[in-house]
Amino acid sequence: MTIDYPIEFAWPDITPYAEGNTGIPYVWSFDSRRPGRHVMVNAVTHGNELCGAVAVDLLFKLRIRPRQGRLTLAFANHEAYNRFDPLNPWATRQVDENFNRVWVEDRLDSREDSLELRRAREMRPVFDRVDDLLDIHSMSTESPPLTLFWGNEKEQEAYRRTGYPAFGIGGPVHDAGKRIIEYTPFNDNTNDKTAQLVECGQHWADDTRKAAIDTALRFLVAMGAIDQTEAAPHLHERNPPPPTMLEVTHGISSKTGQFAFVKPYRGLETIAEAGTVIAHDGGNPIATPYHDCVLVMPNHRAGKGQRVLRLARHV
């Protein structure tokens, strides 16, 4: 079952940011000239995920500058975003391939070519320098917001400090390639670099816009880039619940291209009993492997070979 969702908020024109100030288009960096972390907020890794563009645009309009260290703001896959068509909003997730799966050194260093690979090579030096990254995304279903990270203790701690949104989920991508947050410098336990990927809600819901803004501001406060007094006037959720940690245990992909859930799951539902059938892949039942299994990011639009679901348990 697929659902067409309305676009409930306006998305910004980002072309005024095209020049950048780093020598890399759409990448801006501001130095406080005081010791501190290099913190980055990254938007539009996928071109039809508009909420990140709204959040980063707001940071520019508020003239947010770091009180210590350095702050970098970026619009990653600007080519896809600038092609966004509200009459066909699913079409511009990417141009040639998924920008969030190319972060493998063998590919980055190869002679392969795609628009997203060229952009990744262009931005790679930025991610090499960043200490703490927030990569803003959205989802295809009306799931509550959640943060994804690989699962290293340093990243769990970064999520706990951010404290928003309410669910933080650690574990591998269970898909081919690597996300930006899994790019080697972030996924190296010998350093203290951290990366978080926030999924703010359904792509075009107004609550998703609000979650992106709140997460970006809370992240900047948690990482010491700005003061709470700067963030507070612009927050939508004043008293969020304490963070809950989940661990991804399984990734499920469609083997047949005829994958159907038994219910219109949104995401973060807890299935109490092990062995509960939650979907069918062609004629094959898909059942929960353990009690109190949490469904993460069900994809109702997946084709053959694409990931349709992650399964997680409470830590």
Taking residues 105-126, report their average pLDDT: 98
Which pLDDT score is estimated for 4? 81
| Percentage of residues of the chain with pLDDT beyond 70 | 98
Question: Which of the residue ranges 24-28, 105-109, 157-161, 296-300 would you say has the lowest mean pLDDT?
Answer: 296-300
pLDDT tens profile 139-161: 999 999 999 998 889 999 999 99
- Sequence-distant (6+) residues with CB within 8 A of 300 are 1, 2, 3, 140, 141, 261, 264
Residue 176 has pLDDT above 90, yes or no: no
Residue 2 has pLDDT above 70, yes or no: no
Which residue(s) pair with 70 in the sheet?
31, 38
pLDDT tens profile 14-39: 999 999 999 999 999 999 999 999 99
Which pLDDT score is estimated for 239? 93
Taking residues 115-141, report their average pLDDT: 97
Most confident of 60-69, 147-156, 254-263: 60-69
Residue 173 has pLDDT above 70, yes or no: no
Residue 295 half-sphere exposure toward CB, CA atoms < 13 A = 29
Residue 195 has pLDDT above 50, yes or no: yes
Which pLDDT score is estimated for 133? 98
Which pLDDT score is estimated for 1? 44
What is the distance between the alpha carbons of residues 29 and 40, in angstroms, rounded to a whole number?
A: 9
Which pLDDT score is estimated for 301? 84
Which pLDDT score is estimated for 305? 86
Per DSSP, helices labelled H in 103-152 are 105-108, 115-129
Q: What is the DSSP letter of 180?
A: G
Query: What domains are there in the chain, each with its CATH number?
Result: 15-242 (3.40.630.10), 246-314 (2.40.50.630)
Residue 76 has pLDDT above 90, yes or no: yes
Taking residues 38-55, report their average pLDDT: 98
The confidence band for 3, taking pLDDT boundaries of 50, 70 and 90, is low
Nearest to 198 by CA among 162, 246, 238, 236: 162
Please tell me whether the peptide bond between 172 and the residue prior to it is cis, using omega within 30 degrees of 0: no
Residue 64 has pLDDT above 90, yes or no: yes
Which pLDDT score is estimated for 302? 82
The confidence band for 212, taking pLDDT boundaries of 50, 70 and 90, is very high
Yes or no: say if 96 and 115 are a contact pair by the CB < 8 Å rule.
yes
Which pLDDT score is estimated for 108? 98
For the chain, the average pLDDT equals: 95
Task: Give the number of other Cβ atoms within 10 Å of residue 139's Cβ.
Answer: 23
Question: Which of the residue ranges 129-143, 162-176, 210-224, 271-285 would you say has the lowest mean pLDDT?
Answer: 162-176
